[in-house]
Structure 1
Amino acid sequence: MMTVTTRTVEYPADNLTMVGYLALPAGAERRPAVLIGPEGVGLSDVERRRAEALAELGYVALAFDLHGGRYLEDPEEMLARCMPLLADPDRMRGIGHAALGVLRAEPRADPDRTAAVGYGTGGAVALELGRDGVDLRAIGTVNALTTGRPGEAVRIRCPVWAGVGSEDPIMPPAQRDAFTAEMQAAGVDWRLVVYGGALHAFHHPPVDHTVRPGVGYHPRHAQRAWRDIVALLAECLPVTD
């Protein structure tokens, strides 16, 4: 297993001091870099471990923050923060650009070879970076079939992979259809994987606090979705020694 170095990084975004988690692979050479965006509850050990897993594969990985170092266990507090955020593409882009700036400024990161992967609200941020025309090699999202402002998806310059549970009430079939129609009309190289029987946040291990209805862990599909994301990165952002 490759030796991974990690540290927290503070940076300003959305009028907050964000606390991200950076994972670096062994060695001294520049490597391709990946942003990892968390679910609406915020950055947790789940995303930190994913950053470490990507670093073990040879990527520089930054799990970015949404809430100024806070993890919003209370569903009502989470919704009160995330719903206005999800309705404001410019705020999401600000959060994404701030994190991407930190990642690209890391000396081990190749600033010309980056990708963005996100879950829920973090995935919506990744998509908004694409709609803002950011030069990314790939965008991967789970539970984030969000649509953007009319016409802006044509700015997406890379393949987009999206995963969703078939029984996700927060991202129902109508939302899937709207998302894929937007991607198709914009000429994006897109893929959608529907994981049968899975609910919202199916990738996220169980938590010890109250969650919204329609949320549930599906360990088998969680592993499949992770493998699909790793395959997307291997295709679009390969690590070369």
Structure 2
Amino acid sequence: MTAITTRTVEYPADGLTMIGHLALPAGTGRRPAVLLGPEGVGLGDVDRRRADALAELGYAALAFDLHGGRYLGDPEEMLARCLPLLADPDRMRGIGHAALDVLRAQPRTDPERIAAVGYGTGGAIALELGRDGVDLRAIGTVNALTTGRPDETARIRCPVWAGVGSEDPIMPPAQRDAFTAEMQTAGVDWRLTIYGGALHAFHHPPVDHPTVPGVGHHPQHARRAWRDVVDLLTECLPVTAPKP
């Protein structure tokens, strides 16, 4: 396992002081980078571990914050914050751009080689960065088949991969159809993976707090979804050996 370094980073966004988790691979040279967005509950240990795993693969990774350092385990509190956020593309873009600026400013980041991967609300933010015309190498989303404002999806300039559970009541077939129709009409290089029998947030290990209905862990598909994310990055943002 490659040695990595991690630290927290504070930055302003959405009127809050965000506290992100930065994970860097060993060495001193610039590396391809991944902006990693969490589910609606906010940045937690699962997201930090994902960023660490990406750093072990050779990426500079920033798991960004949604709620000013808070993890919203209360479903009502989470929905009260996330539903208005998901209805406001400009707010989502503001959160995404603030985190992206932090990642780009890191001396270890190659600013020309960045991908955005997100889960739930974090995935919606990744998509909005693409719709805003940000130069990304890839966008990956799980549980975030959100549609955008008319004509803006054509501004996405990179491949998009999306994953969703077949039994996800929050992202039902009608939402899947709307998302894929939007991507196709816009001429985006898109892929959708449907994980049979999986619910919403199937990728997330069981939690010790209440959840919204329709959430459930699926260990096998969770592993598959992570492999699919890594495959997307390997294809679109390959890690090459650093120059001596």
Residue of structure 2 equivalent to 1:124: 124
- 1:9-158 equivalences under 5 Å are 9-158=9-158
Residue of structure 1 equivalent to 2:235: 235
Query: Cα distance, 1:126 vs. partner?
Result: 0.1
Query: Cα distance, 1:200 vs. partner?
Result: 0.1
Residue of structure 2 equivalent to 1:220: 220
- 1:121-200 equivalences under 5 Å are 121-200=121-200
Query: Cα distance, 1:14 vs. partner?
Result: 0.2
What's the RMSD between the two structures over aligned residues? 0.2
Task: Please give the alpha-carbon distance, in whole angstroms, between the structure 1 residues aligned to 2:211 and 2:12.
Answer: 28
TM (norm. structure 1) is 1.00
2:136 partner amino acid? L
TM (norm. structure 2) is 0.99
1:48 partner amino acid? R
Task: Please give the alpha-carbon distance, in whole angstroms, between the structure 2 residues aligned to 1:4 and 1:231.
Answer: 21
Task: Please give the alpha-carbon distance, in whole angstroms, between the structure 1 residues aligned to 2:24 and 2:119.
Answer: 21
Task: Please give the alpha-carbon distance, in whole angstroms, between the structure 1 residues aligned to 2:7 and 2:197.
Answer: 37
SS in 2 for 1:107: coil
Task: Please give the alpha-carbon distance, in whole angstroms, between the structure 2 residues aligned to 1:100 and 1:230.
Answer: 20
Query: Cα distance, 1:148 vs. partner?
Result: 0.2
Task: Please give the alpha-carbon distance, in whole angstroms, between the structure 1 residues aligned to 2:189 and 2:4.
Answer: 32
SS in 2 for 1:202: coil
Query: Cα distance, 1:50 vs. partner?
Result: 0.2
Query: Cα distance, 1:90 vs. partner?
Result: 0.2
Residue of structure 2 equivalent to 1:203: 203
1:183 partner amino acid? M
SS in 2 for 1:35: strand
Task: Please give the alpha-carbon distance, in whole angstroms, between the structure 1 residues aligned to 2:208 and 2:68.
Answer: 21
Identify unmatched segments of 5+ residues in structure 1.
none
Task: Please give the alpha-carbon distance, in whole angstroms, between the structure 1 residues aligned to 2:230 and 2:217.
Answer: 20
Cα deviation per residue 1:92-131 (whole Å; 9 max; x = unaligned)? 0000000000000000000000000000000000000000
Query: Cα distance, 1:44 vs. partner?
Result: 0.2
SS in 2 for 1:71: coil
Task: Please give the alpha-carbon distance, in whole angstroms, between the structure 2 residues aligned to 1:26 and 1:219.
Answer: 30
Identify unmatched segments of 5+ residues in structure 2.
none
Task: Please give the alpha-carbon distance, in whole angstroms, between the structure 2 residues aligned to 1:117 and 1:159.
Answer: 12
Query: Cα distance, 1:71 vs. partner?
Result: 0.3
Percent identity of paired positions between Structure 1 and Structure 2: 85
Query: Cα distance, 1:26 vs. partner?
Result: 0.3
Cα deviation per residue 1:35-58 (whole Å; 9 max; x = unaligned)? 000000000000000000000000
